[in-house]
Amino acid sequence: MLDVIDLNLVFSDHLVPETVVHHLNLHMDEGDLVGLVGESGSGKSMTALAIAGLLSRHDMKKTGQILFRGTDLLTCPRAQLRALQGSEIGIVFQEPQTSLNPVRRVGWQVEESLRIHKPEMDEKERRERAMEMLRAVELPEPERIYASYPHQLSGGQRQRVMIAAAMICSPSLLIADEPTTALDVTVQLSIVKLLAKLSREQKTAILFISHDLSLVKRLCERIVVMKDGRVVEEGSTEQIYARPADEYTRRLIASIPRIERRGRIREGEEGAR
Ligand SMILES: Nc1ncnc2c1ncn2[C@@H]1O[C@H](COP(=O)(O)OP(=O)(O)O)[C@@H](O)[C@H]1O
Ligand SMILES: [Mg+2]
């Protein structure tokens, strides 16, 4: 489904061009759950934005290929890219607060991709689909949430709204860039569990980006480790955990609090807060 081949991303408008992603290769099949991990500044977000087609063509030089079902997103016509964004490729960012429009009701925002990609749907059908999604992301009182403004919701609820909006067209690929980082620790695991459920139900592949290996381990079958814009290690989650080949990965694993490394996050502390 997704084949990133020898991707290089270079900020070219600087005095000294700065390469932030070097020779990156990434393969995902339909329904794959892949974790992209690495410390802050390692190039995870740039990679995510490139795959989502959200890096403007002007300020960054991009070479290589990003093949989505055979179409190269780096060279395809704009209209073709737009048609894929939000319908086949969804994205969720770290800060639900800044991704949501403060003056629009939640329901209207959840329906956004339908207005763009499914013009044949009328208002009533859009609302039904939005309500279905608000229930799917396990928000309490979906009717009330639909009519609310973002500021009336908690951080965890806003992130659920963002996930509902990103998945309303049933994308085949969801890119989730640090979707839990801004949230309370107790809410983080519930969001990860939600992503796992949605992936199962809708057969969506997820590229889950995080600097928190303990969360990645909960969701992903495969882990790609980035450092300084390069992939330093890649393998199944068990393999990476049991036998990290790279010293950097070993340090990432060691930085996880020991209690979480044993997988003993208290299961009771969930729910849509
Ligand atoms: N506008 C910019 N100009 C030059 N370098 C940038 C710019 N924005 C981000 N970077 C650099 O790109 C690198 C990768 O950033 P990013 O993908 O956001 O990392 P991550 O998401 O892994 O924390 C960082 O070293 C960052 O300093
Ligand atoms: Mg980032």
What region does 219 belong to: left with phi over 0, alpha with psi -120 to 50, or beta?
alpha
pLDDT given for residue 243 in this prediction = 87
Give the closest residue (by CA) to ligand 1 atom 4. 11
Q: Which one of 11, 15, 20 would you pick to mutate in the ligand 1 pocket, going by the greatest count of ligand atoms within 8 A of its CB?
A: 20
- Show the tokens assigned to 5: 């081949």
Q: What is the pLDDT tens value at each position of the chain, 273 positions in all?
A: 999 999 999 988 777 888 999 999 999 999 999 999 998 999 999 999 999 998 876 678 999 999 999 999 999 999 999 999 999 999 998 876 678 999 999 999 999 999 999 999 999 999 999 999 999 999 999 999 999 999 999 999 999 999 999 999 999 999 999 999 888 888 999 999 999 999 999 999 999 999 888 899 999 999 999 999 999 999 999 999 888 888 888 888 887 765 554 443 444 433 444
Ligand 1: nearest atom to the Cα of 40: 23
Least distant ligand from the CA of 41: 1
Give the residue among 106, 102, 109, 97 at the shortest CA–CA distance from 144: 106
Diameter over CA atoms, the chain: 55
pLDDT given for residue 184 in this prediction = 87
Q: Kindly list the protein residues that place their beta carbon closer than 5 angstroms to ligand 2, a single-atom ion.
A: 44-45
Order of all β-strands in the sheet with 18-28: 18-28, 2-11, 60-68, 71-72
Other CB atoms within 10 A of residue 143 CB:
10
Q: What's the 95 CA to ligand 2 centre distance in angstroms?
A: 11
Q: How many residues does the chain have?
A: 273
pLDDT given for residue 37 in this prediction = 95
pLDDT given for residue 57 in this prediction = 65
Q: Which one of 46, 62, 181, 228 would you pick to mutate in the ligand 1 pocket, going by the greatest count of ligand atoms within 8 A of its CB?
A: 46
Q: Where are the domains of the chain?
A: 2-261
Give the closest residue (by CA) to ligand 1 atom 16. 43
Residue range 2-261, CATH number: 3.40.50.300
110, with CB counted inside 10 A (0-12, 13-18, 19+), is: buried
| 40-72 CB burial, b ≥16 within 10 A, e <16 | eebbbbbbbbbbbbebeeeebebebbbbbeebe
Q: Tokens 């270079």 map to which residue?
A: 10
